[in-house]
Structure 1
Amino acid sequence: MKTKHTLKLLRKYGAEGTNGTITYNGDHICHTIELPDRNNIRRISCIPIGQYKLEKVRYQRHGEQIGIPNVLNREGILLHAANSAKDELLGCIAPVTSLTGEGKGTGSGKALAKLKALVYCLWDMGDDVYLNIR
């Protein structure tokens, strides 16, 4: 039987961006940056709160990524590296090592590697991984 694992993303909304923290079983994994909440408008808003099943997505340009399918009225939402939501994101979520402002952070590549290692390890066991955003 598949085990269901849930990563929790707790958000704080700002005018310039949305910052958050991802935890798993109470352990801190990384911080996150996203665009501000603009009512789920494509390319300029963070995605709505809710529970999403994460899936492996393969892109020719970016290789294998952690995808967030089944977002209402949205597609192609990923967890990928970026240090500035405004300059580098179109609705996706970027893991960062530390937050430096609203929608800004540092060490995104390192944070993504840590998150990917965890999620891939759970996937490799044949389990399902969910992201619970609130």
Structure 2
Amino acid sequence: MTTTITLHLRRKYGERGTNGTIYFLGEPICHTIELPWQDNTPNKSCIPEGRYRLEKRVYPKNGEQIGIPSVQGREAILIHAANNAEQHLRGCIAPVTKLTGEGTGDESAKALKELKSLVYGLWDMGAEVFLVIRG
């Protein structure tokens, strides 16, 4: 029997970006930055709220990443490093250590490394990992 683990992303929406925090077992793991909500428009909007199964994905540009494959109307949604949503994201989610403004943060590579360590560890134990996104 496969164990199901759920991470929770709680978001706060802004005009210039969407900020959030990912929780595991009620404890904050990292903050997140995303594009502002623009009705799920590809390359311009954060993804809709909902429950998503996370999968290991390999991309030529970003290498091995945490993928969110089942976003309706979207392709190649990842969790990857970025410190500025407007400049570096096209609908993906970027973990950050510290939020610095709407859609901006610091030390994204460090936060991504910590999040990947958690998620890959859960996968290595045979768990299915889901991300529930709420406002």
Number of the residue aligned with 1:129:
129
What TM-score comes out, normalization by structure 2 length? 0.98
Q: Within 5 A, what are the aligned runs for 1:17-96?
A: 17-96=17-96
What TM-score comes out, normalization by structure 1 length? 0.99
Quick one: distance in 1 between partners of 2:76 and 2:60? 13
1:60-86 deviation line (CA, Å, top 9, x unaligned) = 232110000110100100000000000
Quick one: distance in 1 between partners of 2:26 and 2:18? 21
1:34-61 deviation line (CA, Å, top 9, x unaligned) = 0000000000000000000000001123
Number of the residue aligned with 2:102:
102
Q: What runs of 5+ residues in structure 1 fail to find an aligned partner?
A: none
Aligned-pair identity in percent equals 63
Quick one: distance in 2 between partners of 1:103 and 1:58? 25
Quick one: distance in 1 between partners of 2:21 and 2:61? 28
Q: Does residue 1:6 correspond to 2:42, yes or no?
A: no
The one-letter amino acid paired with 1:47 is I
- Runs ≥4 in structure 1, deviation > 6 angstroms? none
Quick one: distance in 2 between partners of 1:91 and 1:26? 26
Quick one: distance in 1 between partners of 2:49 and 2:62? 26
Q: Does residue 1:114 correspond to 2:114, yes or no?
A: yes
How many residues are paired up?
Answer: 134
Quick one: distance in 2 between partners of 1:30 and 1:105? 11
Q: What runs of 5+ residues in structure 2 fail to find an aligned partner?
A: none
